[in-house]
Amino acid sequence: MIEFEKPMPIKDYMAEFYAGKHQTEYNICRFCDDKEKFAREWLEREVPGINLDNPQNIVDRIGYYKIYDRNPIKQDWTDKITALELLRNDGLSELRIEPVFTDRNYLTEHNYYWHLSNNTNYILRCNHGSGWNMKFRKEDSFNPEYLIRKSHEWCNLNYAYISGYEWQYECIKPGIVIQPDLGELLNWEFWCENGEIVNVCRAKKLKKNIMMYLSWYDKDGNPPEWYIGTKPLNFKVMSQKEREILNRMIPYVEHLCKGFKFVRVDLYSINNEVKFSEMTFTPCAGKLDLRWVKDER
C-alpha cells in the first residue's frame, strides 16, 4: 500500500496563511476575496499593454473573456471527463478517443490495473487542468508508484488558481482519464470567435507543454491576416490531402464552437478519421503574444 502524507486541515492551513506562511501566488489567488480583481491585475502585469477596458485585438478580448465571460458551459467542456460525455450526447461519438479508464477518485495501485493491457502505451490525464498528463507503458515490471503519486499531487491542486484565476476550472471535481497513447500527433487548432472560425493553426508537440507551430491559415487554408504565438517558420501551402482533412474538420468545429465568445477547438486526424483533443477558452492563460502577418507577395 502506497502511503501518503495526511494534508493539514484547511482551517489550520488558512490560519497559517493569514499569519504570513504559504504566501505563494497560488494561495494568494485561492484565498483572496475578489478573484476578478486578482485576475485583472495578473493579466495587466503579465501582458504589458493589454487593454481590458476597451479591447482592441484578440489578445485583449481573450483576456476580457477570461475574467468576465462566465458561460457555464465552458466548465463542462473544460472538464475532460464531461467533455467525452458531451461528445456522446451531441451525437459526436466518432470524435472520441475512447478511454480505457476514467474515475473521479484518486488513482490507486488497485484500480490502476483494471482495464489496462500489458505491453501497451498509455497516457494519463487529469480532467481538471492543462498539462497534467503523463505517458507510460504497462508492463509486468512497471511500478506505478510514481504515476500514482504524481496524479495525487495534481488532484490536490485546483488549476483555477495557478495562472491568474481561470474560473472555469474552479468547481471541476478532480479525476483521471487514461487513453491509448497514439504517439506524437499533429494538432489542428481552430481559433473561433462568436461561433466562427477566424484562424487555423497546425502544430506539433516537441515535448511536454512545448509546441512547434508549423503554419497558420484562414478558414479556407490561405495565408491569414494574423496569428498568435511563436512565429512560424513560414506559410506552408496545404496539400490536397490536408485540405480534405480541413474540410472534414470544419463542420465539427462549427458545431462545437457555437455559443462561445471565444474558444480554441483542437482536433486530430488519425488514420483518416477526425478525433477530438480538447477545447481551450484561455490559451496560455491569456499570456499571448500577438504579431500581425501581412502577405507581401
> In the listed set 182, 197, 232, which residue is the last one of a domain according to the structure?
182
Q: Give the contacts of 290 (CB within 8 A, at least 6 positions apart).
A: 57, 58, 59, 226, 228
Q: Quote the pLDDT of residue 269.
A: 94
Q: Quote the pLDDT of residue 295.
A: 34
How many domains does one find in the chain? 3
Residues 81 and 172 in one domain: yes
The answer to whether position 274 is within a domain reads yes
The answer to whether position 4 is within a domain reads no
Q: Quote the pLDDT of residue 203.
A: 85
How many Å apart are CA 156 and CA 236, to the nearest integer? 43
**Looking up cell 497546425, which residue turns up?**
202
Residues 203 and 213 in one domain: yes
Q: Quote the pLDDT of residue 212.
A: 73
Q: Quote the pLDDT of residue 135.
A: 93
Q: Is the pLDDT of residue 226 over 80?
A: no
Predicted TM-score (pTM) of the model is 0.91
Residues 44 and 27 in one domain: yes
The answer to whether position 129 is within a domain reads yes
Choose between 2 and 257: higher pLDDT: 257
Residue 196, class by beta-carbon neighbours within 10 Å (0-12 exposed, 13-18 middle, 19+ buried)? exposed
Average pLDDT (264-275) is 95
Q: Quote the pLDDT of residue 18.
A: 96
Average pLDDT (144-155) is 93
The answer to whether position 5 is within a domain reads no
Residues 137 and 170 in one domain: yes
How many Å apart are CA 85 and CA 92, to the nearest integer? 10
Average pLDDT (53-75) is 95
Q: What are phi and psi of 198, to 5 degrees?
A: -115, -15
* Confidence class for position 5, pLDDT limits 50, 70, 90: confident
Beta bridge partners of 138: 120
Residues 196 and 172 in one domain: no
Residues 229 and 127 in one domain: no
How many Å apart are CA 20 and CA 18, to the nearest integer? 5
Helix (H, G, I), strand (E, B), or coil: what is residue 22? coil
State the average pLDDT for the chain.
90
> In the listed set 118, 153, 182, which residue is the last one of a domain according to the structure?
182
The answer to whether position 100 is within a domain reads yes
Residues 194 and 268 in one domain: yes
Average pLDDT (258-280) is 96
Beta bridge partners of 213: 203
The answer to whether position 77 is within a domain reads yes
Q: Give the contacts of 235 (CB within 8 A, at least 6 positions apart).
A: 215, 216, 217, 223
pLDDT one-digit tens code per residue, 107-125: 888 776 667 888 899 999 9
Residues 260 and 207 in one domain: yes
> In the listed set 182, 206, 235, which residue is the last one of a domain according to the structure?
182
Residues 210 and 259 in one domain: yes
Residues 129 and 216 in one domain: no
Residues 173 and 197 in one domain: no
Q: Quote the pLDDT of residue 267.
A: 97
Structural domain for 135, as ranges: 69-182
CATH code: domain of residue 245: 3.30.470
H-type alpha helices, 177-279: 240-256
* Confidence class for position 292, pLDDT limits 50, 70, 90: very low
pLDDT one-digit tens code per residue, 160-201: 999 999 999 999 999 999 999 998 888 999 999 999 999 999
| DSSP 8-state secondary structure symbol assigned to residue 6 | P
Q: Is the pLDDT of residue 11 over 60?
A: yes
Residues 75 and 175 in one domain: yes
Q: Give the contacts of 149 (CB within 8 A, at least 6 positions apart).
A: 2, 4
Cβ–Cβ under 8 Å, residues 290 and 59:
yes
**Looking up cell 509546441, which residue turns up?**
211
First to last CA, the chain: 65
Cβ–Cβ under 8 Å, residues 199 and 218:
yes
Q: Quote the pLDDT of residue 60.
A: 93
Q: Give the contacts of 30 (CB within 8 A, at least 6 positions apart).
A: 158, 161
Q: Quote the pLDDT of residue 248.
A: 96
Q: Is the pLDDT of residue 157 over 70?
A: yes
Average pLDDT (52-78) is 95
Cβ–Cβ under 8 Å, residues 86 and 77:
yes
Average pLDDT (214-241) is 78
